[in-house]
Amino acid sequence: MGDGAATLAVAATALVFGPLLVALIVFVVPWPALRERLALLVSIALLGALGTLSSELMTGGAARLALGARAAPLGIELALDGLSLAMLWMTALVALAVNAWAADWLRGAANASQRGFGVIWPVLWSALNALFLAADLFNVYVTLEIVTLAAVALVVLTRGRAALQAAMRYLVFALAGSILYLLGVALVYAASGVLTFALLPAALPPSPAASLALLVITAGLAMKAALFPVHGWLPAAHAAAPSPASAVLSALVVKAGAYLILRLWLGPFDALWSQALAQGMGAVGAAGIVYGSVQALRQQHIKRVIAYSTVAQLGYLPLLLPLASIAAWQGTVYHALNHGLAKAALFLAAGNLLHMHGDGRVHALRIADRQGALNVAAIAIAGVSLAGLPPSGGFVAKWWLLEAAFATGQWWWAIVIVAGGLLAAAYMVRLLHPALGHGAPHADATAHASAGALMLWAPFALAMLTLVLGSCGNWLAPYIAIGAPLPGHG
Amino acid sequence: MSLWAYCATAAGLFAIGLYGLLAYSDFIQRLLAANIMVSAVFLYLIVTAASTATPPHPVPQAMVLTGIVVAVSVTALALVLVLVRCLRALPDDAAPRPQDTAGSADG
Amino acid sequence: MSGALEASFDLLLGAALLWLAWHSVAAPQVLRRVAMFLVFGLLMALVWARLGAPDLALAEAAIGAGITSALLLGAGVATPHPDLDGAATRTTRSACGVPRPVLAVLCTLLGIGLALVMYATASTPAPAPSTAAVDAHVLGNPVTAVLLDFRGYDTLLELLVLLVALLGARVLGERLEPVPATAPPGGVAPMLDQLLAMSTPVLLLTALYVLWAGSDAPGGAFQAGALLAGLGVMYSLAGRLQPLAHTPHRLRLLLVLGVGAFALFACASLLWSPAPLTFPARGARALALTLDLALMISVAVTLVLLFLAAPGARIGRR
Amino acid sequence: MSGLDLLAVALVCAGCAFFLTGTLGLLRFPDPRARLHALTKADNVGLGLICAGLGVLDASVAGALKLALVWVLGMLASTLSAFLIARQETVRSGGQRR
């Protein structure tokens, strides 16, 4: 066990401080070579750290680490279980692809916004790792603020009024979300005197203050996660950001808020909610699935289609609360993982499209040459995965969710899950339709620029990974189930 | 110490801030409202801590100190956004490329 | 007698806070709002002092009231508000679509409910974790001990929040024409130079004292950093600090000094401890002071640059 | 209540009165320069009186020195800020000096 603790300490340090040091070094040292390669090297190294950590966790079970050797409640704890492990893997894989893509993108004469990306993105990456490791309410608040500010900064890397307006709208929502979350933390602390997740269930008996805290924390996090009724900032912000930034915003940043909702509901606040409230959360998620998909069907710009698809796909995550079972747990985690990879692939491929043709309108997608074919293949495979068709990770996730819905006798969620898949198939087919040879011939058939090899292969590799996910569900399931809370509501 | 007076103040400040955030569309006004809400939460934290011990427990104090710095950071970034929006009318703002309606920078 | 006196003082303080908060949200002109907010911050500092938290009083006065108001004033003066001021305040329709009177009633009800819940929890407080470990710490000021040691991770991340805000502002600031600080009309004012020459050493000394004393008495790196930032703001207002359109390298080092020192400490601590961010048994005090110093410098430089809304700055006249 | 206490109370009250006058001037006077005029003078005296009163109560040399320092620093700060505000006002009103 002592050895396991040491592994956790080293791996956690690497996960949080590795990307952070990348940001600091790139900011201070003016060599372009560093900007292009350092992040990529570190993301490869972190995969190794995560691999070691995973096998350690498999033998030792969920783990906790008291920072500074100061035990909770005075000190801050980090904690790791299957859910956070999956989120860390998602972050690591997306980071690897984005760093590879950006290595090409940043090559040569980088402009101001590209230089900004090279510094701000590693900070965001570090904060996301910190957030997925966090097990302390106030620590979560601070990491969330880093994530939010970095995300806003990434949006305004794009020049122009549209991005500025989108960023301001984002900031207002995020600010309101932070304050609500902070109020919840204050209420919890006043009622329990504890901030650590592991100690909260015992210290926080049901009370009006605790219920209010649950309500405001959930509302605040929903704003950060762009769950359906408070999603208004997402499409503009994610569409406005530069493509690699859109990829991390859509694949990772909004996941952070949803992840925290699940973590808190199934952990510290487990005793505070009833099945009726869980059904309500599920209904909110279902509404998001339908609304986001319908909006995605109506958008004219490829990045906006993908952004609205995020609103829809996030709606699956709250379904875990009413379904509350180990199958639903696996399905939700798998869905988050799969969506993260697929969405990053889509935004990076959209970035290639804009880079090569300078045209992001939906009907402009076409296969001009071999490069274009690879790019469109990435979009198609990621689309298959989002729709949950058989060989993909999305299929496995939906399978588990459906299993949970029938096992708990809640067939209505099954309808939502299937309908969501069909709608996703519809908007992806609409996106791909012109490329399959049915679109109007484009006036300007020559490509503007050619994309680097890494730029082309990064989204394709991510998309292929979602297929790999589809074939190793049974192998990954025990990892996801590490330390899974099995709430008594199921 | 008058516990109820401070609790009422904290709740009142929060309500005023919430009203400001929801009622007005001016960005700086909303920012001020948000700052007041944050102050309200801090006040509540310290009042609760001070009701059991004097001086208040150091953990909530450290939380509030951290929170003050976080608040000033967010405010500062938001204000630079306002400044850029108000002061800057460069050509690429006035005439965005037609296909760039989503505001993408990848070209 | 003194109980009633204190209660009425608290009541007066609360009422004043509410009045100021209302006017800093709803006053008709932006500068008036900011002025009200400034006074609000100062009264909050008074409240912290009343509640027995002088560290917070210092931080609130220096950062909450001081730097935040300087930032707000700067933005308020620089941005024209033709479309935002008058019309928006007079309409009954609110930004979120609900009519303002309805919103006001809703917020009032919510405030009453919140007050009840807050009073209920505050009057039956949960047992706070024992402070024995904090009291026995080598740093005599428990707040500093918690900030650097027990919850040092939060402090590190909080520095990162500040740095990210600056990085974002820097990206935006590169698009602004740097506005050179104005020289006094009619030439250089000898009196201003005299005054600055007098206050510079005083403020430097005060900041270092606040930093040094913070180990054992109220004070600390953030308060000291904000004081130094105040000095920077003064230089800028006096036309002796010029914004730059780029970030010079030495400045970059200063900006990341705090986070960098903390991050290196976190990694290095794995050499002597099984958990990151553990203070060594020997030399904890020196380490804390070093971290504090790095923190103070980064905080000060970052806040000044945020005030200038510029990627960089240099001392000197135009 | 001893004679010293009474003296302290008298000094602090006098200081408050000066502050009150200065604030009245701030609220009632027509233009920024007149307001500054009222504010800086009244407040510097007011602060001095209050510091003196508190020094009498404290009755230690170190305490008295600290309070004196507070007063001096307060005056320095108010001089500097008054000068900056006045200059800004001059810039705003087109540079003419009255």
Q: List, for residues C155-177, the tens digit of each pLDDT value.
A: 999 999 999 999 999 988 877 76
Confidence at residue A486, expressed as pLDDT on a 0 to 100 scale: 63
Contact assessment for residue A357 and residue B99, using Cβ atoms and an 8 Å cutoff: no
Taking every pair of C-alpha atoms in chain B, what is the biggest distance, in angstroms? 64
Contacts of B21 in chain A (CB under 8 A): 172, 176
Q: Give backbone dihedrals phi and psi of A78, rounded to 5 degrees, phi first.
A: -110, 150
Confidence at residue C86, expressed as pLDDT on a 0 to 100 scale: 47
Q: What is the dihedral sign for C-alpha A447, A448, A454, A456? A: negative
Q: How far is A155 from chain B (nearest CA, A)?
A: 10
Most B CBs within 10 Å: which of A76, A157, A182, as the mutation test of the B interface?
Answer: A182
Rounded Cα distance between A175 and A220, Å, is: 9
Distances (CA, A) of A191 to A187, A261, C126, C307: 6, 20, 6, 38
Distances (CA, A) of C244 to A205, A414, C318: 55, 59, 11
Distances (CA, A) of C225 to C61, C64, C204, C206, C231: 13, 13, 10, 11, 10
Amino acid sitting at position C132 = A
Question: SS3 letters for A81-146?
Answer: CHHHHHHHHHHHHHHHHHHHHHHHHCCCCCCHHHHHHHHHHHHHHHHHHHHHHECEHHHHHHHHHH
Distances (CA, A) of A173 to A88, A306, B28, B69: 26, 21, 14, 20
The answer to whether the Cβ–Cβ distance between A17 and C175 falls below 8 Å is no
Q: Taking 70 as the threshold, does the pLDDT of residue C186 lie above it?
A: no
Contacts of B61 in chain A (CB under 8 A): none
Confidence at residue D40, expressed as pLDDT on a 0 to 100 scale: 83
The reply to whether B48 touches chain A by the CB within 8 Å rule is yes
Most C CBs within 10 Å: which of D35, D66, D87, D92, as the mutation test of the C interface?
Answer: D87
Q: How many domains does chain C have?
A: 1
Q: Where are the domains of chain D?
A: 3-92
User: HSE-up of A150 (CA within 13 Å, CB side)?
Assistant: 31
The reply to whether C252 touches chain A by the CB within 8 Å rule is yes
- What percent of chain D shows pLDDT beyond 90? 29
Interface of C with A in 143-162 (CB under 8 A): 146, 149-154, 157-158, 160-161
Interface of C with B in 211-270 (CB under 8 A): 220, 222
Confidence at residue A37, expressed as pLDDT on a 0 to 100 scale: 87
Contact assessment for residue D83 and residue C195, using Cβ atoms and an 8 Å cutoff: yes
Written as one string, the DSSP assignment of A390-435 is: TTSHHHHHHHHHHHHHHHTT-HHHHHHHHHHHHHHHHHHHHHHGGG
Q: How far is B103 from chain A (nearest CA, A)?
A: 5
Rounded Cα distance between C248 and C263, Å, is: 23
Contact assessment for residue A52 and residue A119, using Cβ atoms and an 8 Å cutoff: no
Instruction: Calculate the dihedral angle through the C-alpha atoms of A94, A95, A98, A101, rounding to the nearest 10 degrees.
Output: -110
The answer to which of A433-437, B75-79, C258-262 has the lowest mean pLDDT is A433-437
Q: Taking 80 as the threshold, does the pLDDT of residue A292 lie above it?
A: yes
Contact assessment for residue B29 and residue C25, using Cβ atoms and an 8 Å cutoff: yes
Ramachandran class of A193: left when φ > 0, alpha when ψ lies in -120 to 50, beta otherwise: left
Please compute the mean of the pLDDT values over residues A110-127 and round it to a whole number.
Answer: 89
- Give the ipTM: 0.92
Rounded Cα distance between A136 and A189, Å, is: 11
Contact assessment for residue A383 and residue A426, using Cβ atoms and an 8 Å cutoff: no
Confidence at residue A361, expressed as pLDDT on a 0 to 100 scale: 79
Contacts of C111 in chain A (CB under 8 A): none
Confidence at residue A366, expressed as pLDDT on a 0 to 100 scale: 72
pLDDT class of C12 with cuts at 50, 70, 90 = very high
How much is the CA Rg of chain C, to the nearest whole Å?
A: 23
Please compute the mean of the pLDDT values over residues C33-50 and round it to a whole number.
Answer: 93
Most C CBs within 10 Å: which of B14, B52, B54, B65, as the mutation test of the C interface?
Answer: B65
Confidence at residue C6, expressed as pLDDT on a 0 to 100 scale: 85
Contacts of A203 in chain C (CB under 8 A): 126
Please compute the mean of the pLDDT values over residues A362-368 and round it to a whole number.
Answer: 73
Confidence at residue B1, expressed as pLDDT on a 0 to 100 scale: 58
Distances (CA, A) of A89 to A13, A96, A102, C69, C181: 16, 10, 19, 43, 49
pLDDT class of C25 with cuts at 50, 70, 90 = very high
pLDDT tens for each residue of A197-207: 999 998 998 99
Q: Taking 70 as the threshold, does the pLDDT of residue A334 lie above it?
A: yes
Q: Which residue has the tokens 């972050």?
A: A91
Domains of chain B: 3-89 (1.10.287.3510)
pLDDT class of A339 with cuts at 50, 70, 90 = very high
Give burial (CB, 10 Å; 0-12/13-18/19+) of C244.
middle
Q: What is the dihedral sign for C-alpha C105, C108, C112, C118? A: positive
The answer to whether the Cβ–Cβ distance between C126 and A142 falls below 8 Å is no
Chains touching D (3+ CB pairs < 8 Å): C
Ramachandran class of A158: left when φ > 0, alpha when ψ lies in -120 to 50, beta otherwise: beta
Q: How far is A1 from chain B (nearest CA, A)?
A: 30
Q: Which residue has the tokens 């699940």?
A: A262
Written as one string, the DSSP assignment of A199-233 is: GHHHH--S-HHHHHHHHHHHHHHHHHHT-GGG-TT
Confidence at residue B88, expressed as pLDDT on a 0 to 100 scale: 60
Rounded Cα distance between C170 and D49, Å, is: 46
Contact assessment for residue C108 and residue C99, using Cβ atoms and an 8 Å cutoff: no
- Which of C184, C196, C202 is the closest to D87 by Cβ? C184
The reply to whether D13 touches chain C by the CB within 8 Å rule is no
**Per DSSP, what are the bridge partners of residue A63?**
A80
Q: How far is B5 from chain A (nearest CA, A)?
A: 17
pLDDT tens for each residue of A207-250: 999 999 999 999 999 999 999 888 889 999 999 999 999 999 99
Please compute the mean of the pLDDT values over residues A130-135 and round it to a whole number.
Answer: 96
Confidence at residue B103, expressed as pLDDT on a 0 to 100 scale: 38
The reply to whether B41 touches chain C by the CB within 8 Å rule is no
**Per DSSP, what are the bridge partners of residue A196?**
A136
Confidence at residue A195, expressed as pLDDT on a 0 to 100 scale: 93
Please compute the mean of the pLDDT values over residues C51-66 and round it to a whole number.
Answer: 92
- Reported residue count of chain D is 98
Q: How far is B1 from chain A (nearest CA, A)?
A: 17
Q: Taking 60 as the threshold, does the pLDDT of residue B90 lie above it?
A: no
The answer to whether the Cβ–Cβ distance between C122 and B48 falls below 8 Å is yes
Confidence at residue A379, expressed as pLDDT on a 0 to 100 scale: 92
Q: A160: which DSSP letter?
A: S
Confidence at residue C80, expressed as pLDDT on a 0 to 100 scale: 66
Confidence at residue B101, expressed as pLDDT on a 0 to 100 scale: 35
Instruction: Calculate the dihedral angle through the C-alpha atoms of A147, A152, A153, A156, rounding to the nearest 10 degrees.
Output: 160
Range of the domain at C301: 140-318
Q: Taking 80 as the threshold, does the pLDDT of residue C180 lie above it?
A: no
Confidence at residue A150, expressed as pLDDT on a 0 to 100 scale: 96
Q: Taking 80 as the threshold, does the pLDDT of residue A435 lie above it?
A: no
Q: Taking 90 as the threshold, does the pLDDT of residue C94 lie above it?
A: no
Between chain D and chain C, are at least 3 CB pairs below 8 A? yes
Contacts of B66 in chain A (CB under 8 A): 138, 142
Neighbours of C314 (CB within 10 A): 10
Confidence at residue A121, expressed as pLDDT on a 0 to 100 scale: 95
Contacts of C35 in chain D (CB under 8 A): none
Rounded Cα distance between B18 and C108, Å, is: 10
The reply to whether the predicted model has a pTM over 0.95 is: no
The answer to whether the Cβ–Cβ distance between C126 and A203 falls below 8 Å is yes
Q: Taking 90 as the threshold, does the pLDDT of residue B105 lie above it?
A: no
Q: Taking 90 as the threshold, does the pLDDT of residue A32 lie above it?
A: no
Beta strand C312-315 with C241-244: parallel, antiparallel or unpaired? antiparallel
The reply to whether C107 touches chain A by the CB within 8 Å rule is no
Q: Taking 50 as the threshold, does the pLDDT of residue D14 lie above it?
A: yes
**Which chain C residue has its CA at the smallest distance from A20's CA?**
C263
pLDDT class of C91 with cuts at 50, 70, 90 = low
Rounded Cα distance between A118 and A476, Å, is: 33
Q: Nearest Cα to C51, choosing from A191, A138, B35, B64? A: B64
The answer to whether the Cβ–Cβ distance between A175 and B73 falls below 8 Å is no
The H or E element that residue A41 is part of is helix A32-60
Confidence at residue C182, expressed as pLDDT on a 0 to 100 scale: 58
The answer to whether the Cβ–Cβ distance between D87 and C191 falls below 8 Å is no
Q: What is the dihedral sign for C-alpha B51, B53, B58, B61? A: positive
pLDDT class of B93 with cuts at 50, 70, 90 = very low
- What percent of chain B shows pLDDT beyond 90? 61
Q: C217: which DSSP letter?
A: S
pLDDT tens for each residue of C241-287: 888 888 899 999 999 999 999 999 999 999 998 889 999 988 889 99
Give burial (CB, 10 Å; 0-12/13-18/19+) of A59.
exposed
The answer to whether the Cβ–Cβ distance between C68 and B35 falls below 8 Å is yes
Contact assessment for residue A287 and residue A158, using Cβ atoms and an 8 Å cutoff: no
How much is the CA Rg of chain A, to the nearest whole Å?
A: 21
The answer to whether the Cβ–Cβ distance between B105 and A159 falls below 8 Å is yes
Q: Nearest Cα to A110, choosing from A20, A33, A23, A44? A: A33
Structure tokens at B19: 């009203």
Rounded Cα distance between B10 and B14, Å, is: 6
Q: Is the peptide bond before A73 cis (omega within 30 degrees of 0)?
A: yes
**Which chain C residue has its CA at the smallest distance from A122's CA?**
C164
Distances (CA, A) of A277 to A274, A292, C57: 5, 22, 41
Q: Where are the domains of chain A?
A: 1-83+112-273, 296-490
Contact assessment for residue C156 and residue C259, using Cβ atoms and an 8 Å cutoff: yes
Please compute the mean of the pLDDT values over residues B101-107 and round it to a whole number.
Answer: 37
Across chain C, mean pLDDT equals 87
Rounded Cα distance between C106 and B21, Å, is: 13
Rounded Cα distance between A340 and A385, Å, is: 11
Contact assessment for residue A82 and residue A333, using Cβ atoms and an 8 Å cutoff: yes
Confidence at residue B85, expressed as pLDDT on a 0 to 100 scale: 81
Q: Nearest Cα to A259, choosing from A225, A303, A293? A: A225
Instruction: Calculate the dihedral angle through the C-alpha atoms of D90, D95, D96, D98, rounding to the nearest 10 degrees.
Output: 20
Amino acid sitting at position C90 = R
pLDDT tens for each residue of A33-67: 888 889 999 999 999 999 999 999 898 888 889 99
Rounded Cα distance between A470 and A288, Å, is: 25
Q: How far is C203 from chain A (nearest CA, A)?
A: 29
